[in-house]
Structure 1
């Protein structure tokens, strides 16, 4: 088309279009470079890790230690699945647990004295639940290969467990990796405690010898409030406690 136009209108027009075509080529090349640079910048801005699933439940054992089977489950566990679609592996180097709130869930019956057994947890907290907000960090080394998904778990609880009421907490976890941070939460969970008449078992709770029904109403109100926190992940045991208390009329 340019050659035909040059035949009709002469050289100056051909030269004009020739220069325009050259400028256009440079402009397109520059535009392509800008777009490529913008795409690269956008890719760089994208998080290398994506949290694809969060769950919470009570699990036996901690850091490879053998649990005391007579005592039952120890410590609520947060289970996080990461997805890495970035070109290259992503290394998580630190996890910080932030406890928004915590409290106890009494068994609503007369109990004896306390008998405690020491137990180390990934994120140990004082036996007497700390004032909130409470924060604790731990250096870790967890590598998620590119184009892979992988899971890690964090277990938390008091440094000493044994005879005592179950406790609940609302936590956020911040993972540091590749010069950035990824937050997970809020997560609402409960611990089994050491009460032999008020504890989770399988998909339900054992609740026995109640002498204070109003106390169960308070526990039900706590479970209901926690479950209604916006965007919350509710642990398996907290959900089953809420269902159990509802079924009991509380």
Structure 2
């Protein structure tokens, strides 16, 4: 019996460990290009390709197990979706922008944006390896060219038989051409104060935030202070 018990212990000790996935590090990267087209919302027709950039969420994953870890879905639980007013007085531009985000947030009907949105993926982390997953998240259709959108989102990764891994909370901004215009050319003090109040609700949300949000807030604070 002693020999048999020892053999079982040795076998258990040497058996491959299942996938053991953890988030080693996460961040919001600087603006990166995302394919996008202009969009006529009235005629429901997509137009030409247009320059567009947004903040990717970078999640570094580590698999401590002896078997591959397979991520099969991403759940983006949207807590905030805010549109900043145009403080530049430069006009609206195209009726809308449709970007090829990893996860598109529906904006219709009203209220559809908030809550969890799941996107199927296939992302494998090999045994003992570290790998990085990059995600872009934003509205399905973004209205007008000089209106930045701010998104606050909790991210979970579904892997290996339905387990959910908490991958952090993030606050990001989309449409960086609009962001650049706001930082360089905002001139309306009342508009800046309104946008500052919106951003303060985002800053109360515990999350990793893009540096562009800091730049926008600093810009609006200076303008609102006169």
For the pair shown, which has the larger CA radius of gyration, 1 or 2?
A: 1
CA contact (8 A) 1:97 1:171 kept: yes
Give the structure with the larger helix fraction: 1
Q: CA RMSD in A?
A: 3.3
TM-score for the superposition, normalised by structure 2: 0.73
Distance 1:129 1:210 in 2: 33
TM-score of the pair, normalised by structure 1: 0.66
> What corresponds to 1:177 in structure 2?
159
Name the stretch that deviates more: 125-134 or 88-97.
125-134
- Quick check: 83-92 or 185-194, which moved more? 185-194
1:166 Cα deviation from its structure 2 partner:
0.5
CA distance in 1, matches of 2:194, 2:51: 25
- Counterpart of 1:141 (choices 81, 104, 122) is 122
1-structure distance, mates of 2:185, 2:122: 43
Cα deviations by residue, 1:84-107 (Å, 9 ceiling, x for unpaired): 111221111111111112111112
Q: Does 1:223 align with 2:223?
A: no
Aligned residues: 202
After superposition, where does 1:70-149 map in structure 2 within 5 Å?
72-115=51-94, 116-126=96-106, 131=111, 132-149=113-130
Name which of 30, 33, 37 aligns with 1:60: 33
Q: State the 1:117 CA deviation.
A: 4.3
Question: Cα–Cα, structure 1 residues 130 and 239, in superposed 2: closer, same or farther, change >3 Å?
Answer: farther
Q: Structure 1 unaligned segments of length 5 or more: list them.
A: 1-24, 64-69
Q: Contact 2:154–2:168 (CA<8 Å) still a contact in 1?
A: yes
> Larger relative CO (CA 8 A, sep 6+): 1 or 2?
2
Kept after mapping to 1: 8 A contact 2:34/2:99: no
Match of 1:192 in 2: 175
Can you give the 5+ residue segments of structure 2 that lack an aligned partner in the other structure?
37-48
